[in-house]
Amino acid sequence: MTAARPVKTAVVTGASGGIGAALCAAFGQAGYRVIGCDVREGASNCDVFLRFDLRTISASTAELHLVLERIREGLRGGGVAVLVNNAAVQVLGSVDTLTIDDWRATLDVNLLAPFLLTQGLLPELERAGGSVVNVASVHSHLTMPGFVAYATSKAALVGLTRSMAVDLGRRVRVNAVLPAATATPMLLAGLGSGGADAVAAVHPMGRIARPEEIAAAVVYLASSAASFVNGAVLAVDGGVGARLHNPI
């Protein structure tokens, strides 16, 4: 009689958003048990949903320990095959207008929380031979006016990805994806039809990404097919990062 394979568990933050929902669905289809986490209700496609605010775990050690215990309860004694640090906040503002609170909110969620969750779940990641995938952004190296805090946090997340990959060595792989504009309900509502068409037009492929395409890249990085991929930063941007915008 063949022994049953151990259940692989994926922990996904930001599970209620457009990319988060696609991530939960993709990992479920790939045979993972999915623990979705978000500050908002409404996450779908996950086996366990945990509601908590990443800002609180960055501000309170007691809250961090409570959240880690809730995740461990969801694991049922198993390991974490992949931790996907997908949750993010996007506080827009210029150099003239950004406040200390804007910076704290941005860095607490986009940078410090991914580090703290990775650090706190290291035993479970090692137990499963797992990996971490950080969802950064094309804004880590290509940005626009008004994205000072967001772009800085995503650039720092890329640096954290590479640093953790080196520091953890053989223990846990750490990689990142860099999505460009992605057709989530929030983005499409914010752009409107004319804005969405204009953004699509600047991408060499003539369109923006589908959430499922970002999720597929994350599932690949978590899989055994990427077993020698560590410290990588994978652009999923339709070629926009290679395009020179020349007004002539």
Residue 41 has pLDDT above 60, yes or no: yes
Q: Does residue 15 fall inside a structural domain? A: yes
pLDDT of residue 248: 60
Distance CA 101, CA 119 (A): 25
Query: Does the pLDDT at position 144 exceed 50?
Result: yes
| Separation of alpha carbons 218 and 200, rounded Å | 22
Structural domains in the chain (count): 1
Q: Is residue 137 included in any domain, yes or no?
A: yes
Which two tokens mark 130? 């797992």
pLDDT in tens, 166-215: 999 999 999 999 999 898 887 877 787 788 888 888 899 999 899 999 99
Please indicate, yes or no, if residue 220 is contained in any of the structural domains. Answer: yes
Two tokens, residue 143 = 């940005």
Coil, helix or strand at residue 174: strand
Q: Give the mean pLDDT of 41-66.
A: 94
| Rg of the Cα atoms in the chain | 18
The pLDDT of residue 42 is: 82
* CA dihedral over 125, 113, 138, 213, signed as positive or negative: positive
| pLDDT over 50 at 126, yes or no | yes
Q: Are 35 and 13 a contacting pair, CB within 8 Å?
A: no
- Percent of the chain topping pLDDT 90: 83
- Looking at residue 1, its pLDDT comes to 46
Residue 90 is assigned to a structural domain of this protein: yes
Domain assignment present for residue 1? The answer is: no
Give the HSE-up count for residue 126: Cα atoms under 13 Å, Cβ half-sphere.
9
Q: Does a structural domain hold residue 88?
A: yes
237 pLDDT more than 60: yes
Does residue 244 sit within a domain? no
Q: Which of 105-114, 190-199, 225-234 has the lowest average pLDDT?
A: 190-199
- Tens of pLDDT, residue by residue over 60-109, are 999 999 999 999 999 999 999 999 999 999 999 999 999 999 999 999 99
Q: Where in the sequence is the domain holding 209, given as residue range(s)?
A: 8-239
Q: Is residue 124 part of a domain?
A: yes
Q: Residue 214's closest CA among 173, 184, 247, 244?
A: 184
The residues annotated with a catalytic role in the active site are: 150
pLDDT at 8: 96
Q: What is the CATH number of the domain that holds 153?
A: 3.40.50.720
Please give the residue that has the higher pLDDT: either 42 or 165. 165
Residue with tokens 């809730």: 70
Q: What is the pLDDT at residue 74?
A: 96
- How confident is the prediction for the chain on average, in pLDDT? 94
4: pLDDT strictly greater than 60: no
